[in-house]
Amino acid sequence: MKNELEDMSREEFAARDFSEKSALRERERKYYAEKSEEIGLKSLERFLQYHPNPSRFMKLGFTYAHRDLESVADAMANGKPWAVVSGLNPSAPLHIGHKAVYDEVLWLQEQGAEVFIPLTNDESFVVGKSKTLGESRKVAYEEVIPSLIAMGFDAERTHMFVDSDYPDIYNVAMDLSNKISLNRAFGVFGFQMNENPGALFYRSAVQIAQILLPQYEEFGGPKPTVVPVGIDQYPYLLLARDVAEKKGFVPPAGLFLKFLWGMDGKGKMSASREGSAIFLTENTNRAKKIIKTSYTGGSPFADFQRENGGIHDICPVYTLRSYHFEEDNIVGEECASGQTLCGDCKKQAIEDVVSYLEDHQSKLEEARSRVGEFILKTPIRSIFEE
């Protein structure tokens, strides 16, 4: 049987490929617009207008919306205390998608935030991403925390904790659990009956405890807090805001970040899909190979791309270069005008990534010796007051 592509001219093939890519771009645009409207998010336009030096991700639109950022903006402008909570699941080393999120957290720290980073090895275990609690604990201490330290967080104002080694977080979860009804938790998360019962306690109480921890007396009491999240994590923020109100805390704000495309172009960058993520502790030859073979928004036919430009909005090489390595949106402009073709663009991406990985990896040894400076040990005693 003949393959239908065999009957197509190269122009027809390129045009079809491009129209599929354009449809993908439209789908992504619609997804963010509809979701933002559905949950009532605000654009960052006003914040960008008034902040003297917004983050590069805000300017590029990677950080694209917020929920109640006003309380944080006020604290930021007036030098009042405020916090950021940005946790992650330590089932694998940090990848370049995490780097984008923590670059944003670093910017928030430069604006005055106290940073809290929970490493949720309990979640890795409960949802089956790690076989044992010990396995994800090891990844947390040996890979994730050193990488975060090497990124440049300030030890005086950064508190990291691995959930299973900071049992106080479970006491806080207990303290908050009577402010949450099962009805509300089911409504927000939509649990499946075949899920592990640990998932119910984790999502409806432990995760909320992590978000509200900076507002406990031990850290100076109620204060504006912001959580950088992907739109899929909105339910946690919603529940944390409900509980904060009942507890007399400031409802936490949300800063919404887009998903970073995996290098395989098959969706969000993920450690579990081969060819999707570039890890910060990666062998540079493997990183080169991933970029060389990555999906793009370009055409296999150079003359077609020169004439029509590429579709950078859906291209992981574009997000890699513009989010991490270029000051202006020059990559997007050169791609859309057809001035740069994918081969040269990937070559530059490889140079930038390899140089970043070499620099990052050269800092890991010292970072490993500093882990103790960043680990949160503060006992939470206020919950035991009678």
- Contact footprint for ligand SF4 (CB under 6 A): 296-298, 310, 312, 315, 317-318, 331, 335, 340-342, 345-346
DSSP readout, 50-115?
A: H-SS--HHHHHTSEEEEESTHHHHHHHHHT---EEE--B-TTS--BHHHHHHHHHHHHHHHTT-EE
> Which residue lies nearer to ligand SF4 by CB, 56 or 203?
56
Q: How far is the CB of 350 from ligand SF4 (least distance, A)?
A: 11
User: By C-beta, is 57 or 318 nearer to ligand SF4?
Assistant: 318
Say what angle helices 342-362 and 284-292 make with each other, to 10 degrees: 160
SS3 39: coil
- Report in angstroms how near the CB of residue 322 gets to ligand SF4 at its nearest: 8
Residue whose C-alpha is closest to residue 349's, from 279, 268, 276, 294: 294
Cα–Cα distances in angstroms (integers) from residue 354 to residues 134, 282, 310, in the given order: 31, 10, 24
Kindly tell me which of 179 and 306 has the beta carbon lying closer to ligand SF4: 306
> Please, what is the minimum distance in Å from the beta carbon of residue 340 to ligand SF4?
5
Instruction: In angstroms, give the least distance from the CB of 355 to ligand SF4.
Output: 18
Residue 123 or 264 with smaller CB distance to ligand SF4: 264
Give 124 or 340: the residue with its C-beta nearer to ligand SF4: 340
CB of 262 to ligand SF4, least distance (A): 14
